[in-house]
Amino acid sequence: MGWLALAFIVFATLSPISDRPVLARPQFEHFAAFALLGLAFGLAYPARLPLVATIVLGSAVGLETLQLLTPDRHGRVLDAVVKAVGGICGISAGQLILFLLRTRISRAR
């Protein structure tokens, strides 16, 4: 799921502005997309937190930088920060979910 989410985010971020899907206000979209990405990767690879953080945060910064190469898009520091914060929140939520599940399972034994 995480890899599919990343592929969609890459498409939405680097496609021509006329082809970009619009679901909500831009900052909310950026935050929500990367929160879901962080959650998906965090749940899929719980033992590889540094790798997950590198993928999610690297994607946030990298995609904003790549937008500078497209003629009709613009990369902004604010967008990269919002994406990174969303990713961190998603990763954190995934870690919290896993912690709660482990706690519940250990109590059930």
Query: What pLDDT is attached to residue 108?
Result: 76
What's the confidence (pLDDT) of residue 21? 66
pLDDT tens, residue by residue, 57-99 = 999 999 999 988 887 778 889 999 999 999 999 999 999 999 9
What integer pLDDT is reported at residue 62 of this predicted model? 95
Residue 10 lies in a domain: no
* Residue 86 resides in a domain: yes
Q: Which two tokens stand for residue 45?
A: 């690879």
Q: Count the domains in the chain.
A: 1
- Whether 31 maps to a domain, the answer reads yes
Instruction: State pLDDT tens for residues 25-68.
Output: 778 889 999 999 999 999 999 999 999 999 999 999 999 999 88
- In the chain the beta strands, taken as DSSP E runs, fall at none
- Measured CA to CA, the distance from residue 80 to residue 96 in angstroms comes to 24
Q: Which residues constitute the domain of residue 82?
A: 26-108
C-beta neighbour count of 61 within 10 angstroms: 15
Give residue 69's pLDDT: 86
